[in-house]
Structure 1
């Protein structure tokens, strides 16, 4: 199973990101979507798991702030800001997906993978434009960090 993992799109779904997501079986979005049309576009590519971010306003009131689920026997917990993750929610999760900081981070803490795919929306805070793809085979998984070239505003590929 191929899982596209992104966060903090802030209303922008780049062409390069769409090309990756078209190859995925499932998509996880860690919040700060900013536009309902992004949700509809992502759902057209693959089943979508999404949490509400701090910049997702009235239109997103129905989105969960946290979410737990399993894919191919791998258990996930998602929240936009990892500071909002309770110990009870995280315990038992194989993977915690979060966003908010716009910084890619991938580390194992007490046997749990904590993964922030960074931001692949508008470039902010001089951070690289990133997302992740996870390949799940059985209960094993591998994560690949994807980094996209930064174009000036209005440039090709946005």
Structure 2
């Protein structure tokens, strides 16, 4: 099972279309963690599960979504309502409260993944305005035999970082 996770595209549609074309055949789920700055009817978002970010004034995306793929429960939010630039603790508590094994978020434009108390906290970075590195990134999550592999990739598909996790 594979899941495509993107965030912070800030009005740009070419990158969303590019990643959809690259991964839609293999991805069971495609997530956008907010700040798309697009409306629900925008074709670039077709197929993506989308949440509202702090820069999303068009449309009525939800602030958070609970969804499942490959037997994993995902909590998806942008992150601004959980103060993720200061701490991941509030986000972690909410994910645990929802019974999620994976919490996907954006907002900071900084890629990262870590497991705390059995929950994978994953930020794919930004596909338009990255911070902390020059590469515009997204994440491809794959779960096999209880092991989750997260690949952070550039828009051209090249892997820039990779981590493996066991949620226990």
- Cross-structure match for 1:153: none
Q: Distance in 2 between matches of 1:139 and 1:39?
A: 35
TM-score normalized with structure 1 length: 0.76
Match among 64, 74, 77 for residue 75 of structure 2: 77
| 1:19/1:75 CA distance change after superposition, 3 Å | same
Aligned residues: 143
**Following the alignment from structure 1 to structure 2, what is the Cα–Cα distance between the partners of residues 77 and 39?**
23
Contact 1:72 1:138 in 2 (8 A): no
Q: Distance in 2 between matches of 1:2 and 1:76?
A: 13
Q: Which residue pairs with 2:35 in the alignment?
A: 32
Report SS of the residue matched to 2:19: helix
Distance 1:11-1:26 versus aligned 2 partners, 3 A rule: same
Task: State how far apart, in whole Å, the 1-side matches of 2:44 and 2:23 are.
Answer: 10
SS of the counterpart of 1:36? coil
CA distance in 1, matches of 2:125, 2:94: 22
Match of 2:94 among 56, 79, 89: 89
For residues 125 and 17 of structure 1, what CA distance do their matches in structure 2 show? 20
Within 5 Å, give how 1:120-131 maps onto structure 2.
120-121=127-128, 123=129, 125=131, 127=133, 128-131=135-138
Structure 2 stretches lacking a partner, 5+ long: 83-89, 157-168
Is this contact kept in 2: 1:30–1:99, CA < 8 A?
yes
The whole-number CA distance in structure 1 between the counterparts of 2:75 and 2:120 is 10
Q: CA RMSD in A?
A: 2.5
More moved, 89-98 vs 135-144: 135-144
Q: TM-score if structure 2 supplies the norm length?
A: 0.72
Query: Pairwise mapping of residues 103-118 of structure 1 onto structure 2 (< 5 A)?
Result: 103-118=110-125
Q: Which moved more, 1:18-27 or 1:127-136?
A: 18-27
- Residues 23-62 of structure 1: CA deviation (Å, up to 9, x unaligned): 323210100001227853232xx4x3211000000x22x2
8 Å Cα contact 2:28-2:69 kept in structure 1 = no
